Amino acid sequence: MTWAVFAQNIVNGISLGSLYALVAIGYTMVYGILRLINFAHSDVFMLGAYMLFYIDFMFRLPWWLTFVLAAVLTGVLGITIERVAYRPLRQAPRISSLISAIGISFFIQNLGLVVFGGRPKPFPVPQFFSQSYMVGSVYMANISWVVPVFSGLLMLGLTMLVYRTKVGLAMRAISHDMDTSSLMSVNVDGIIAITFGVGSALAAAGGIMWALKYPQINPLMGTVPGIKAFIAAVLGGIGSIPGAMIGGMLLGMLEIMLVALMPTLSGFRDAFAYLVLIVILLARPTGLLGREFREKV
């Protein structure tokens, strides 16, 4: 492999990894607080892309405004899902909310198939993103650096939110102990709603950037990146935000490198993610940065 190709792969790996990371954060935040694998997250990811598609189609606003609107609306949608499908089950056995999440996921996918249609739609990509040029001997489209830079900014913002604000403090408190937090007059319902809102908005951003990279959208487009992002979250130690970021980057990079270094194995690319996951879990049963739990006997 030449240096140029190698650099190209590094760029691709970072780009893919940062998208995984962005979506993984949504899984990990919800898991950290509710101990719930939010299987509907990958469908929220898909809805983000459709949201932008339809807003753009109907209003023809400036692109950045369309983007913000789509992310905000998807965030609101995430809050609604939590209110309708998860909050009533908070005291129920944990498996009930998981089934509810699967039910919501089925519902969104099927509704998507009915409303949006099963046929892929071409995603509107502003010219800026697809413009490309050579840097040295590496071929770069603007999208290749926009995705990691913008994801990085979003993650930075999220880190500030979680570790530097009162809302973030409340989130961390709830993820430690929900009951005690509510006794300490933390507004648990409100904070959980914010968590879902923020996580869903990030998923929307991820979905939109995914669609910018692969400009065909369909109602099932969330499944594969969604499950990969989830793997990334588990890899990093589910419940840990830095873990989700590291897991996402690691997974993206490894996937790209597998295909680059061993092209004959590219058919196994999707299996590879799981293999990495299983190997890491066997070495560290709670992921890279997961809180190790020692049961008190």
Partner 1 sequence: MKEPKELSVRGLTMRFGGLTAVRDFELELARGELVGLIGPNGAGKTTVFNVVTGVYRPTAGSVSAAGVDITGWRPDRVCRQGIARTFQNIRLMKSLSVLDNVIVGHRLRLKSSLPAAILRTPGYVKEEQSMARECLELLDALGLVRYANAPAGGLPYGEQRRVEVARALATRPRVLLLDEPAAGMNPSESMALCQFIQRVRSDFDLTVLLIEHDMSVVMGICERITVLDHGETIASGEPADIQANQRVIEAYLGVGFKNVAAH
Partner 2 sequence: MLGVYNPARARLKLLLTFGGLAVLAAAIWWGNANLSSYNLRILNLAGINAILAVSMNLIFGFTGLFSLGHAGFMAVGAYTCALLTLPVATKDSIFLLAPLAWPFSVITLPPIAAVVCAGATAGLMAYLTGFPVLRLRGDYLGIATLGFAEIIRVVANNIPSITNGALGLKGIPSFASNLWWTWGCVGITVFVISRLVNSVYGRSLLAVREDEVAAEIMGVNRTYHKTVAYVIGSFFAGVGGALMGSLVTTIDPKTFGFTLTFNILIIVVAGGLGSITGSVLTSVIYTVLLEALRPIEASWRIGPLRVPEIPGLRMVVFSLVLLVIILFYQRGLFGGREFSWDRVLDWIDRRRSRKQGVRA
Residue 95 engages partner 1 in binding (rule: CB under 8 A): no
Rounded to a whole number of angstroms, the minimum distance from the CB of residue 286 to partner 1 is: 16
Q: How far is the CB of 220 from partner 2 (least distance, A)?
A: 10
Taking the complex as a whole, the smallest distance from the CB of residue 37 to partner 2 amounts, in Å, to 6
Inter-CA distances, 163 with 36, 85, 277, Å: 22, 28, 28
> How far from 117 is each of 47, 110, 196, 217, 230, CA to CA, in Å?
13, 10, 27, 11, 26
Q: Minimal CA–CA distance to 28: which of 224, 141, 172?
A: 172
Report CA Rg, the chain.
19
Rounded CA-CA distance 123/9 in Å is: 25
Query: In the complex with partner 1, which residue's Cβ is closer, 32 or 237?
Result: 237
277 binds partner 2 (CB under 8 A): yes
- The dihedral region occupied by 29, where left means phi > 0, alpha psi between -120 and 50, and beta the remainder, is alpha
Strands 132-135 and 138-141: antiparallel
Q: Is 297 in the site for partner 1 (CB under 8 A)?
A: yes
Fill in the per-residue mask, 190 to 229: x = in contact with partner 2 (CB under 8 A), - = not in contact.
Answer: -------------------------------------x--
Instruction: Choose the contact partner of 294 out of partner 1, partner 2, none; CB within 5 to 8 A by kind.
Output: partner 1
Residue 175's binding partner, choosing from partner 1, partner 2, none, with beta-carbon cut-off 5 to 8 A by kind? Answer: none
Among 1, 58, 95, 183, binds partner 2 (CB under 8 A): 95
Q: Does residue 153 bind partner 2 (CB under 8 A)?
A: no
- Of 164, 291, 286, 271, whose CA–CA distance to 224 is shortest? 271
Decide: 250 and 235 in contact? Cβ < 8 Å: yes
Report the C-alpha gap between 197 and 243 in whole angstroms. Answer: 20
Residue 262 lies near partner 2 (rule: CB under 8 A): no
End-to-end distance of the chain based on CA atoms, in angstroms?
A: 54
Within 10 angstroms of residue 235's Cβ, the number of other Cβ atoms is: 29
The residue from 93, 127, 185, 294 that contacts partner 1 (CB under 8 A) is: 294
Nearer to partner 2, 113 or 167 (CB): 113
- Residue 115 vs 297, nearer CB to partner 1: 297
Please check whether residue 44 is in contact with residue 78, taking contact to mean a CB–CB distance below 8 angstroms. yes
Nearer to partner 2, 159 or 223 (CB): 223
**Residue owning tokens 């609101």:** 76
Give the binding site for partner 2 (CB under 8 A): 31, 35, 37, 39, 85, 88-89, 92-93, 95-96, 99-100, 102-104, 106-107, 110-111, 113-114, 118, 227, 230-231, 234, 238, 267-268, 270-271, 274-275, 277-278, 281-282, 285-287, 295, 297
